[in-house]
């Protein structure tokens, strides 16, 4: 048995919008799962196998990037960059979710080829966690000609995600909806490219197509890169029960519009964050922290709630076993403190002023290769 005790925590952020700050200065995890938190004086810390002294900083569930485009290991050919996932970990992110391995040079678009690549991608990230980061990948982009059996085959082989609808040849809502429904039937989650085109082969996806397709996540509701007109973003927020994903690679003004609209509709629990990197606009190792600070500052959201967009909300929308301080959830954490010389009386206020924290993210169980 391994027992992790984190002591001298300044504040515990829960990841839960309904109760973003928890009482306590100590947290215990056994065998990689949270079992208890509260005040050290009330907790049995005796048999700890690892003790971490937080020195009074904030502890939060590790951040989740809902929208990345990995290819293989910790390398991306899009920017010729090594160790971008390692850098992302240093931006507080412990879990990454693929929206499609679309930057693979020569990506197969025939059906047997795309299925093979999705299965292989799922495997190579399950078998190898770069710097300990959990990468949920193997997200095929749907193409014309796929039939229900293909989705069953993918699901049976362990594929749990669809890549962004619209990056392949399927560009009409009717076909996309049928394929998304097949994917859902076999337990696969779906997302869609929203807004103007990005990579070669992608096209405009407007609000009508997003609504007709009915994916679980509205991928980059603020565009990636170009956003839809304001009235269409408002329409999506009003019409949809799916997750509203706001990304770093999109339009920041539209991001604030989506946030404000979600708040007016009492739908803040649907707001989740991604970077959409690596992409043409680069890799953003601190992208999720930058989104939290940007939305907190320009969207007037208390920082402790803005952090929920980056962990608890995503965990709930994506049905993950991490991202929340809850009994049984994974011991994936980020320790954060106010950056040196950042204005504000504490970390949360400094984030609300638009500043980034300094941070240190970790998984308690890094031993799986």
| Residue showing the smallest CB distance to Zn ion in the complex | 193
What is the sign of the dihedral through the CA atoms of 63, 89, 284 and 358?
A: positive
Q: Which is nearer to Zn ion, 17 or 161 (CB)?
A: 161
In whole angstroms, give the CA distance from residue 217 to residue 211: 11
- 299 in contact with Zn ion (CB under 5 A): no
In whole angstroms, give the CA distance from residue 165 to residue 201: 12
Q: Which is nearer to Zn ion, 3 or 136 (CB)?
A: 136
Interface pattern 214-253 for Zn ion (x via CB under 5 A): ----------x-----------------------------
CB of 219 to Zn ion, least distance (A): 6
**DSSP string of 312-363, one letter each residue:** HHHHHHHT-S-SS--TTSB-EEEEEEPPTT-SSSSHHHHHHTTPPPEEEEEE
Coil, helix or strand at residue 298: helix
Q: Which is nearer to Zn ion, 108 or 280 (CB)?
A: 280
Name the residue among 174, 129, 191, 179 with its Cα closest to residue 152. 179
Interface pattern 150-169 for Zn ion (x via CB under 5 A): --------------x-----
Q: Which is nearer to Zn ion, 24 or 224 (CB)?
A: 224
Stretch that binds Zn ion, among 23-31, 172-180, 185-193, 241-249 (CB under 5 A): 185-193
User: Residue 108: exposed, middle, or buried by beta-carbon count in 10 A (0-12, 13-18, 19+)?
Assistant: middle
Q: Which is nearer to Zn ion, 3 or 220 (CB)?
A: 220
Among 3, 134, 136, 193, interactor with Zn ion by CB under 5 A: 193
Count of chain residues binding Zn ion (CB under 5 A)? 3
For residue 172, how far is the Cα from the chain centroid?
A: 27
CB of 118 to Zn ion, least distance (A): 17
Task: Give contact residues for Zn ion (rule: CB under 5 A).
Answer: 164, 193, 224
């Amino acid at each position: 048995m391994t027992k992790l005790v984190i002591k001298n925590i300044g504040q515990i952020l829960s990841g839960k919008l309904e109760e973003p700050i928890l009482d306590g200065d100590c947290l215990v995890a056994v065998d990689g799962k949270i079992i208890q938190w509260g005040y050290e004086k009330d907790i049995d810390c005796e048999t700890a196998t690892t003790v971490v002294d937080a020195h009074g900083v904030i502890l939060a569930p590790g951040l989740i990037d809902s929208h990345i485009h990995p290819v293989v290991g910790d390398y991306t050919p899009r920017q010729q960059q090594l160790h971008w996932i390692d850098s992302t970990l240093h931006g507080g992110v412990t879990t990454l979710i693929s929206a499609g391995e679309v930057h693979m040079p020569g990506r197969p678009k025939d059906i047997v080829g795309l299925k093979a690549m999705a299965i292989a991608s799922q495997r190579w990230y399950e078998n190898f966690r770069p710097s300990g980061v959990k990468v949920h990948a193997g997200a095929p982009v749907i193409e014309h000609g796929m039939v229900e059996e293909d989705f069953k085959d993918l699901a049976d082989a362990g594929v749990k995600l669809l890549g962004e609808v619209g990056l392949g040849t399927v560009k009409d809502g009717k076909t996309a909806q049928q394929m998304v429904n097949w994917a859902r039937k076999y337990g696969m989650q779906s997302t869609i490219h929203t807004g103007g085109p990005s990579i070669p082969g992608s096209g405009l996806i407007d609000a009508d197509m997003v609504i007709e397709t009915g994916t679980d996540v509205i991928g980059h509701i603020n565009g990636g890169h170009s956003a839809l007109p304001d009235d269409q973003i408002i329409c999506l927020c009003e019409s949809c029960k799916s997750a509203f994903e706001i990304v770093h690679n999109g339009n920041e003004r539209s991001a604030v519009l989506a946030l404000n609209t979600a708040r007016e509709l009492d739908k803040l629990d649907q707001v989740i964050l991604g970077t959409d990197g690596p992409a043409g606009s680069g890799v953003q190792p601190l992208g999720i922290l930058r989104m939290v600070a940007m939305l907190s500052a320009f969207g007037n959201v208390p920082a402790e709630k803005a952090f929920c967009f980056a962990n608890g909300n995503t965990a709930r929308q994506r049905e993950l076993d991490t991202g929340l301080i809850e009994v049984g959830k994974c011991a994936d954490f980020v320790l954060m403190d106010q950056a040196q010389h950042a204005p504000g009386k504490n970390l949360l206020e400094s984030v609300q002023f638009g500043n980034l924290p300094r941070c240190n993210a970790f998984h308690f169980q890094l031993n799986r290769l």
